[in-house]
């Protein structure tokens, strides 16, 4: 009789092996491990056995029961898994269809570059100080060492405000902010950047705009040297343009002396010469210099005790250089096809 328990198990398992649908599985369950199934029938035989055989037979019957129940659950799971797989595989997606992108807004590229500049200088302890766009001749020119009718004024094609006898103008640079920042911060040392919109009387073209952002920087302290100017601006260039050579050489601004232009090695041709760098191998990034003693004085600082440096750069120009933009009119043209690329 023991043999038939093993035979039962073998037969049941062999049958189960080919079952892959829920109905057949249910039939199988009823047949073997159901209440009136073959396994229970085994147990019913126990009482008919001699006492001595009952123990071994019962043990075998229990083993068969456990084995078949385990096999049933395993198969049940396997069928579920297989059905699910089949169902899921029946509806594949074409993953190359375009994704549905969320409605996302973006910052204007000018804002993005300004933020990048704030961040880099912020890490070096610079604070952002904004000053006015419509300026007086006094602050914009005279206090910056550019007297009336001075030839240096040729460098700033300026918009004037009517009815003010040219005493009021649209600032053509952020440098008047130097005076305002110094007067605000005196007698503390100064380490600030002054961003904002500037205006120049230009023919609008791919290269020139009548309005543009500038970021001015000013540092005033007791031990500020031209070496600090070079070091600070070199760090800035490294963060903004990556690890590449910079060079400083003579420039001229009436409000700094000595003055220097900073170039970085061309980011396209790495110095070999290309259209972007006009075959010079270098890109002009900013103007800078040691704050002129007269300007320090006009800001309230005694030039015999204090010294400082200042610099100015154009975020739109930097954006153009970094992203290969050849037409500055894109910025205020605000075509979404342009803006969406940032």
Q: Binders of other proteins among 276-315, rule CB under 8 A? A: 278-280, 290, 292-293, 307
Closest approach of other proteins to the CB of residue 184, in Å: 7
Q: Classify residue 108 by its DSSP letter.
A: -
Radius of gyration of the chain (CA): 41
CA-angle at 161, arms to 157 and 166, nearest 5°: 70
| Sign (positive or negative) of CA dihedral 263, 269, 273, 274 | negative
How far apart (Å, rounded) are the C-alpha atoms in residues 65 and 75? 15
Closest approach of other proteins to the CB of residue 259, in Å: 7
Is residue 32 a contact partner of residue 38, using CB atoms and an 8 Å limit? yes
Size of the site for other proteins (CB under 8 A): 104
Q: Classify residue 99 by its DSSP letter.
A: P
Name which position in 19, 260, 266, 285 contacts other proteins (CB under 8 A). 260
Closest approach of other proteins to the CB of residue 311, in Å: 13
Q: Does the footprint of other proteins cover residue 40 (CB under 8 A)? A: no
Name which position in 27, 31, 116, 235 contacts other proteins (CB under 8 A). 235
Q: Does the footprint of other proteins cover residue 231 (CB under 8 A)? A: yes
Stretch binding other proteins (CB under 8 A), from 19-27, 60-68, 70-78, 178-186? 178-186
| 217 CB-contact burial (10 Å; exposed 0-12 / middle 13-18 / buried 19+) | buried
Closest approach of other proteins to the CB of residue 159, in Å: 5
Q: Does the footprint of other proteins cover residue 211 (CB under 8 A)? A: yes
DSSP track, 1-57 = -HHHHHHHHHHHHHHHTT--SHHHHHHHHHHHTSTTSHHHHHHHHHTTS-HHHHHHH
Q: Does the footprint of other proteins cover residue 37 (CB under 8 A)? A: no
Q: Does the footprint of other proteins cover residue 339 (CB under 8 A)? A: yes
Q: Which is nearer to other proteins, 8 or 291 (CB)?
A: 291
Which residues make Cβ contacts (< 8 Å) with residue 251, sequence separation at least 6? 259, 260, 261, 287, 288, 289
Stretch binding other proteins (CB under 8 A), from 17-25, 47-55, 214-222, 320-328? 214-222
Q: Does the footprint of other proteins cover residue 186 (CB under 8 A)? A: no
Q: Identify residues 132-161 at the interface with other proteins (CB under 8 A).
A: 132-136, 138-139, 148-152, 154-155, 159-161
């Amino acid at each position: 009789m023991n043999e038939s328990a093993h035979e039962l198990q073998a037969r049941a398992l062999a049958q189960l092996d080919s079952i892959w649908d829920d109905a057949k599985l249910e039939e199988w369950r009823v047949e073997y491990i159901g209440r009136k199934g073959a396994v229970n029938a085994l147990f019913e035989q126990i009482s008919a056995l001699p006492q001595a055989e009952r123990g071994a037979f019962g043990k075998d019957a229990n083993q068969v029961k456990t084995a078949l129940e385990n096999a049933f659950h395993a198969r049940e799971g396997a069928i579920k898994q297989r059905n699910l797989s089949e169902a899921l595989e029946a509806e594949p997606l074409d993953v190359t269809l375009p994704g549905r992108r969320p409605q996302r807004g973006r910052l204007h590229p000018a804002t993005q570059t300004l933020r990048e500049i704030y961040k880099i200088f912020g890490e070096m302890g610079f604070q952002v100080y904004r000053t006015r766009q419509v300026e007086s001749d006094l602050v914009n020119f005279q206090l910056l060492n550019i007297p009336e009718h001075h030839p240096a004024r040729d460098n700033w094609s300026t918009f004037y405000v009517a009815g003010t006898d040219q005493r009021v103008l649209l600032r053509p640079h952020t440098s008047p902010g130097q005076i305002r920042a110094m007067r605000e911060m005196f007698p503390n040392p100064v380490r600030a950047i002054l961003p904002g919109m500037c205006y120049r009387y230009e023919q609008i073209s791919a290269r020139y705009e009548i309005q543009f952002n500038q970021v001015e920087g000013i540092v005033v302290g007791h031990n500020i040297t031209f070496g600090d100017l070079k070091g600070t601006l070199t760090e800035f260039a490294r963060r903004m343009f990556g690890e590449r050579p910079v060079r400083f050489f003579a420039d001229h601004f009436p409000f700094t002396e000595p003055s220097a232009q900073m170039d970085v090695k061309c980011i396209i041709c790495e110095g070999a010469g290309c259209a972007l760098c006009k075959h010079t191998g270098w890109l002009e990034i900013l103007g800078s210099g040691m704050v002129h003693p007269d300007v320090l004085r006009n800001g309230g600082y005694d030039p015999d005790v204090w010294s400082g440096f200042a610099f100015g750069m154009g975020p739109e120009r930097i954006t153009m250089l970094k992203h290969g933009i050849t037409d500055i009119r894109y910025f205020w043209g605000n075509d979404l096809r342009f803006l969406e690329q940032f």
